[in-house]
Amino acid sequence: MCSLEAKSWRKPRERALKLMMHYCDLLNKVEITASHLIKVRRIAFP
What was the pLDDT predicted at 25?
93
**Is the pLDDT confidence value at 34 over 90?**
yes
What was the pLDDT predicted at 1?
44
pTM given for the model:
0.54
Integer distance in angstroms from the first to the last C-alpha of the chain?
66
Q: How far apart are the C-alpha atoms of 14 and 7, rounded to whole Å?
A: 11
Q: How far apart are the C-alpha atoms of 18 and 23, rounded to whole Å?
A: 9
**φ, ψ dihedrals at 31, nearest 5°:** -65, -45
The pLDDT tens digits of the residues spanning 14-30 come to 888 899 899 989 999 99
What's the sign of the alpha-carbon dihedral 36, 40, 43, 45?
Answer: negative
Mean pLDDT, all residues of the chain: 82
What was the pLDDT predicted at 4?
59
What was the pLDDT predicted at 43?
82
Name the maximum alpha-carbon separation found in the chain: 66
